Amino acid sequence: MSQLPDYVVSAKPNPQESRAGWLTTTAATYAGVMLWFVFWQDVPNGGQSVAGGTLSQGLGLAIGSLVLAAFLCHFLFYLAPGLLGLKTGLPLAVVGTSTYGVVGGYLMPGLLMGLLQFGWLSVNAFFSGLLLAAPFGQGMGSPLHLGLGTLWALIAMFMGLKGIQYVGKVASFMPIIPIAILLLLLTKTIGTVGAFSVDELMKAAPKDVDPVTLFGNGQLGVLSLMCAYVIGFFATAGAAGVGFGSGNKNQTAVQFGGLVGIVLPTVVSGIIALIVVAGAQKLALDAGKPEFLSVYQIPGLFDLILGKELGSICMFLLAIAAFPSACFCTLIAADCIKTSFPKINPWVSCGVGVAAAIALVISGLAGKAGDVFTVIGASFGPICGAMAADYILSGFKWAGPRAGFNPAGWLSWLVGFAVGGATLVITKFCGQTMPFEIPCPPLSAFIVGFVLYTVFAQIGLQSKSLDLPQRIDQNN
């Protein structure tokens, strides 16, 4: 027991009598994440600059790829963490000590989860600032956009640390706004989606941008792009399933919480986004506005579909609806850092993190959604894979904390992270041509993490298990 740090010893399982129903907890929270406009606005382009986006092989394949990605998020990235949370009642930082060791647990997955929240904050601030600046005719990178994004991040930090109780009171109602706007967009475009033409889409695509392919195949390219975008966006939320599962009553609740909170809103919001872009094609042609034919990001079509005045109102409302999640990013980051390093003042740690987030906003890096999600997927893909492998190898139970740095976990993460981030690093940061293609990097990172953890565990590369003083009932 002396080998256990305070954050493990002091952790108390959430008792069964304190757990709540899945619909108002797990499902509602995840639905709020997947209904965030930053997710569905880029479903038609996959977060990347490619000719035709995810619609380049037709609406049917795009929808099918989206549905597959949603189920992969549920079954591969969420379910094992959710069940671990259910069976232990413990937070992610403690549950992760089985996979990464009690010393390694200071860093991963808990601290990494906290640090990546500042990346999410930068994305939130960047796109929210962009929506607020657009009605004034100020586009991406304008002083107004960057100023609003900076102010957004600073206010979110203050409210996250000092006024989260006020934010929490209205947060549960905020998903109503994107739902209403999605339905409005759907009613305006559903009647013209039947006239969608892939040939017209590709003809209008920028000439200096290539269509997406994988191993030279366009259909595989769309499948990989869609899955990479959706999974990359969801990856950290999957690992956070430990926290949600710890508040669930049984395995049925964990399953339904994911199916209703993850799969359903992902599919619904994503399909509507695809229909909107496909249906807007005929609207653009009929209005004699061909410049909209190469716009695959939803807010860029607001003026065409809704008109300038109503479109501006919708942009403002979407930004406001995103504010609670920006505050929660700061709160989650502070909690994760405090768990690992309790002596650091949260105002100091969050201040440094928010400064980094603002730097990402000003540099424009936060606006490259696909690249951001690639980094997130590369980071948490192997974490979710290794946790799933550890859970299965332990007989579908939590194995308990392990000493020091667990080699099986860390080695599998290093290789998985390298696989998940290789394409981004080589092509974007190094400016070199990738010598080979990696299908759906976040999913590949998960598979590598799962397989390598299993192999390393079987050959004895696991540190020894440690006794836990508190009783953990895993018979849920």
Report whether 265 contacts 35 (CB < 8 A).
yes
Whole-number Cα distances in Å, 208 to 205, 222, 318: 9, 19, 32
Domain membership of residue 165 (yes or no) is: yes
For residue 450, what is the DSSP state? Answer: H
Domain membership of residue 474 (yes or no) is: no
The tokens of 326 are what? 């920006």
Could you list the residue range(s) of the whole structural domain that residue 99 is in?
Answer: 6-458
Whole-number Cα distances in Å, 337 to 11, 87, 97, 340: 15, 24, 16, 5
Confidence (pLDDT) at 428: 76
Domain membership of residue 469 (yes or no) is: no
Domain membership of residue 467 (yes or no) is: no
Report whether 400 contacts 466 (CB < 8 A).
yes
Domain membership of residue 470 (yes or no) is: no
Q: Which residues, including other chains, have CB under 8 Å from residue 342's CB and lie 6 or more apart?
A: 6, 7
Cis upstream peptide for 109 (omega within 30°): yes
List phi, psi (to 5°) of 5. Answer: -70, 165
Confidence (pLDDT) at 1: 45
Give SS3 for 137.
Answer: coil
**Segment holding 165, helix H or strand E:** helix 164-171
* Number of independent structural domains in the chain: 1
Q: Among candidates 161, 127, 125, 131, which has minimal Cα distance to 358?
A: 125
Q: In tens digits, what is the pLDDT along the chain, a chain of 476 residues? A: 457 888 888 888 988 888 988 988 899 889 999 999 999 999 999 998 899 999 999 999 999 999 999 999 999 999 999 999 999 999 998 999 999 999 988 888 888 888 999 999 999 999 999 999 999 999 999 999 999 999 999 999 998 888 767 776 777 788 899 999 999 999 999 999 999 999 999 999 988 888 999 999 999 999 999 999 999 999 999 999 999 999 999 999 999 999 999 999 999 999 999 999 999 999 999 999 999 999 999 999 999 999 999 999 999 999 999 998 898 888 888 888 887 777 888 899 899 999 999 999 999 999 988 888 888 999 999 999 999 999 999 999 999 999 999 999 999 999 999 999 998 888 877 777 778 899 999 999 999 999 999 999 999 999 999 988 776 777 77
What residues pair up with 465 in beta bridges, in sequence order?
A: 402
Other Cβ atoms within 10 Å of 201 Cβ, number: 21
Domain membership of residue 275 (yes or no) is: yes
Confidence (pLDDT) at 475: 72
What is d(CA 96, CA 5) in angstroms, rounded to the nearest whole number? 14
For residue 26, what is the DSSP state? Answer: I
Confidence (pLDDT) at 164: 67
Size of the chain in residues: 476
Q: In terms of DSSP H, where are the helices of 19-109?
A: 28-34, 37-40, 59-72, 79-88, 92-95, 97-100
Q: What is the CA radius of gyration of the chain?
A: 22
Q: What is the CATH number of the domain that holds 236?
A: 1.10.4160.10
The tokens of 465 are what? 């298990």
DSSP per position, 384-416: HHHHHHHHHHTTSS----BSS--HHHHHHHHHH
What residues pair up with 51 in beta bridges, in sequence order?
A: 211
Domain membership of residue 163 (yes or no) is: yes
**Exposure pattern of 359-371 as b/e (b: 16+ CB <10 Å)?**
ebbbeebbbbbbb
Confidence (pLDDT) at 398: 95
Would the CA dihedral through 238, 239, 244, 249 be positive or negative?
positive
Domain membership of residue 302 (yes or no) is: yes
The tokens of 382 are what? 């192997």
DSSP per position, 302-367: HHHHH-HHHHHHHHHHHHHHHHHHHHHHHHHHHHHHHHH-TTS-HHHHHHHHHHHHHHHHHHTGGG
